[in-house]
Structure 1
Amino acid sequence: MEKGSQTALMSPHPDKKRSFRFISTALLLCLASYTTWQLWTPVPAPALSVLEQADFSHLAGHCYPPAITATAYASRLSSVASVLTSLNASAYIIEPSPNALYYANVSLSSWGLSERPLLVVITSEAKVSIVTPKFEVTRAKLLPVPFEGVQYFEWAEADSPYEAVLKALPAGVAQGGKVYVDEMARLFIATGLQAVAPEMKVEIAPLAVKALREKKTAEELAIMHCVNELTLMAIREVRKHLHFGMHESEGRALVSKALGQAGLGDIDNIFLVGENAALPHGHGTDRQITKHDFILIDCGGSLHGYKSDVTRTFALPGSKIPTAHLEIWYSVQTSQKLALAAANPGSPALGVDAAARGYLNTAGLATYFTHRLGHGIGLEVHESPYLLSSSRLPLEVGNTFSDEPGVYIEGKVGVRLEDCFVVTAEGGEPLTKGAGGFAKNPWDI
């Protein structure tokens, strides 16, 4: 073959072909590398929500007083036995309840109510017995009753629990004696007792028994100061995490987290924005916070069984609250201070209510103050006595109340401020005092 013919059969552009193969190979390698990088590079985690980022655990270090001691329970037992003796009653019969918690450390959380009653029987001789279903006796003996020598009286399923109660009473009581059934006990307890002992006087425990719980001791007040201070501090910490556009449900979740991390149990909270706060115990609409809104938080928890109850109505930094709403806030603040100043030993409860209500009346707002000024607080969030416009009951040293005036104009605005206080020899003292006490203005709560 001639030289010219060989040249004609060869590729006219060998260098271009090699270049193409090189570029193709490089591109494939780049594509493979990119795919591998995509597969092995971790996907960034989604941003944490405000709730997830918020940490309120530092609150728990503020205070932690001791629980009620065995010595205190013994004192309570002695007091109620003395009252029973003075009223010629032989026994006081209680179901699991705040009263059973107060006298025998038996709460509803440790023993729930059912059709099979468990009863605490306290006699005028200061003896304590537990009447229990027979199949539950082992569990009943695990209850943290703080006394020695407690007797347990069992009743089988086919038997009457009330016959077992008679065995726990002093001799002869069923034949004409008198016993008290706690006011919180279910009606069938009293009627069942009466049915098995027709000659025995079965009565609802009188005010003298209930009044023992109404005056708090120094031991109780130490717990109540702590739980109320923690609650106020939790509200303030939550406020730092709120922002315009946040929903009521998000705020409510923050409050629950803060109270829980502060070490409180039995958490309850209301979180309302703007006109939703005009319903004092409303559930809201999951409304978003705007620059023109007040925010109302009413919340509480428990520590060693004792409850807190604190309310703050406030504005966020950068808010533009209508002047009329600000005037309402300051009127409520003044009425709260006047009520506390009127809470002196011996003063009638209605006088304290009148101090707050009277001021709101002069401001033209009394029509919108639609509830009592306050309630007693302790082992229950709401317990006697109450600060009512109709109550002439004199305040006593050791009584504890909420002081919570409010103004509620439906469809427009709701403002409430609440701090609990104790009546001392010198007058009312806020239980939030150790955390700064009353709110100073809508931005400093």
Structure 2
Amino acid sequence: MGVTSTVLDVTTMRSRLDRLRRHAADAGVTTTVVSPGSDLRYLTGVAGSSFERLTALVVPSDPAVAPVFVSPALEYAGLGHVPLGDLGVEVRTWVDGEDPYALALGGVPGGRVAVSDMTPALHLLQLRDAGAVDQQLAGPVLRELRMRKDEAELAELRAAGAAIDRVHARVGEWLRAGRTEAEVAADIAAAIVEEGHAAAEFVIVGSGPNGASPHHSVSDRVIEQGDVVVVDIGGPLPSGYNSDSTRTYAVGAPREPDVATAYAALQAAQRASVASVRPGVTCQDVERAGRDVLAAAGLAEHFIHRTGHGIGLDVHEEPYIVAGNELPLEAGMTFSIEPGVYLSGRWGARIEDIVAVTVHGVERLNTRPTDLAVL
């Protein structure tokens, strides 16, 4: 698996495990199986991803039954400092040739088993064969823990926002006519790490017509004078908490005649969505606040994705800011607000900030100006 870990204090870990048990029990779940990924990192600090050998945290909803951490012996050697014993977690290691699935479920109560959403089918089906027949996704249970960030998590997300803001402040060093998108992206990726991230998770440099494709990455297109360029960048801090911010740039005066008017409407839409954020407002209300501004400007058909996504240990997580999501906002929720305008074959623009819901309203975790930056 290639596991590593970040340090979580025992009090935090115990609180999260206790909350998991309560939410799982309320959902009619007997046992939750958490495989490597952001869910396991949230609960224990153990980071990594699943491969062919099973690693899992098995948490019975009954607090009288001890959780179990199952790990290949060759992986657990690097995790001895994780204070699982202090949490009452039983560690069961295994070697090749043994059955880890029977080991994981041994002594665990039967009933409905919730399994991490990103658990590979390789493990999911063998857990079923070992007795976990009544399965469901654990996402609905775990999202209740992870959607509302505590103060330590908010501090990490503020640090991530400040770090990616420092990169956007430097984009003028690299973005100019005559360079390719790929060349600019390589410089930005290096700066993301220089400014405190563990890695550059993604770098989008969409120039001219490429900016009209929201998930364009980079290409060998040579940036031209007059291009509008979408730069969407982010990555994790060493703690695992992520940044994600988009700004739109122009290389000299934009050559397309409708840029100024459309961009002004986009900026107003993004501000309207940010201003709407407060406890009790629904996710779809935030979506509607910005989309209505673009509709009034005749640009609704050119905004072709949701307004935002939650962010934390995953770049995309709950809550999603999208039409139809009636979830009321609560203090501690964090998500992007990123309306865009995309004129196919011509140009595109997007403005993205991460925000946190506060007791009284909203806090922007990205503080760079949102004006079209003419270089």
Q: Same fold (TM over 0.5)?
A: yes
| d(CA) in 1 for partners of 2:8, 2:249 | 35
1:204-353 aligned within 5 A: 204-205=137-138, 207-267=140-200, 268-303=202-237, 304-316=239-251, 318-353=252-287
1:341-420 aligned within 5 A: 341-420=275-354
Partner of 2:20: 80
Query: What stretches of structure 2 of length at least 5 have no aligned partner?
Result: 1-5
Contact kept in structure 2, 1:153 and 1:167, CA below 8 Å: no
SS of residue paired to 2:46: coil
SS of residue paired to 2:36: coil
Partner of 1:100: 40
SS of residue paired to 2:258: helix
Contact kept in structure 2, 1:68 and 1:220, CA below 8 Å: no
Partner of 1:115: 52
| d(CA) in 1 for partners of 2:112, 2:236 | 36
**Once the 2 structures are TM-superposed, how far is the Cα of residue 236 of structure 1 from its aligned partner?**
1.4
Compared CA separation, residues 88 and 331, structure 1 to 2 (3 A)? closer
- Cα deviations by residue, 1:179-220 (Å, 9 ceiling, x for unpaired): 32222223343433333337x744332624321101111110
The alignment covers a number of residue pairs equal to 365
**Residue identity matched to 1:394:** P
| d(CA) in 2 for partners of 1:414, 1:150 | 51
SS of residue paired to 1:414: strand
**Residue identity matched to 2:171:** V
**Residue identity matched to 2:119:** A
| d(CA) in 2 for partners of 1:443, 1:69 | 46
| d(CA) in 2 for partners of 1:128, 1:380 | 25
Partner of 1:4: none
Partner of 1:154: 93
Partner of 2:3: none
**Once the 2 structures are TM-superposed, how far is the Cα of residue 358 of structure 1 from its aligned partner?**
1.1
Partner of 2:123: 189
Compared CA separation, residues 168 and 421, structure 1 to 2 (3 A)? farther
Larger radius of gyration: 1
| d(CA) in 2 for partners of 1:70, 1:290 | 54
Contact kept in structure 2, 1:215 and 1:396, CA below 8 Å: yes
| d(CA) in 2 for partners of 1:217, 1:146 | 21
- Cα deviations by residue, 1:239-275 (Å, 9 ceiling, x for unpaired): 2343332221221111111111012023121112112
| d(CA) in 1 for partners of 2:83, 2:255 | 53
Contact kept in structure 2, 1:121 and 1:168, CA below 8 Å: no
1:10-25 aligned within 5 A: none
**Once the 2 structures are TM-superposed, how far is the Cα of residue 231 of structure 1 from its aligned partner?**
0.4
Compared CA separation, residues 147 and 379, structure 1 to 2 (3 A)? farther
Partner of 2:102: 163
Q: Comparing 83-92 with 414-423, which one deviates more in the overlay?
A: 83-92
**Once the 2 structures are TM-superposed, how far is the Cα of residue 325 of structure 1 from its aligned partner?**
1.0
Contact kept in structure 1, 2:203 and 2:217, CA below 8 Å: no
SS of residue paired to 2:170: helix
Which has the larger share of helix? 1
**Once the 2 structures are TM-superposed, how far is the Cα of residue 87 of structure 1 from its aligned partner?**
4.4
| d(CA) in 1 for partners of 2:85, 2:330 | 29
Query: What stretches of structure 1 of length at least 5 have no aligned partner?
Result: 1-65
| d(CA) in 2 for partners of 1:287, 1:196 | 53
**Residue identity matched to 2:337:** D
| d(CA) in 2 for partners of 1:143, 1:279 | 46
Q: Identify the match of residue 180 of structure 1 among 110, 114, 122.
A: 114
| d(CA) in 2 for partners of 1:208, 1:162 | 22
SS of residue paired to 1:394: coil
1:119-138 aligned within 5 A: 119-124=56-61, 125=63, 127-134=66-73, 136=74, 138=76
Contact kept in structure 2, 1:328 and 1:415, CA below 8 Å: no
Compared CA separation, residues 168 and 143, structure 1 to 2 (3 A)? farther
**Residue identity matched to 1:313:** T
**Once the 2 structures are TM-superposed, how far is the Cα of residue 289 of structure 1 from its aligned partner?**
2.8
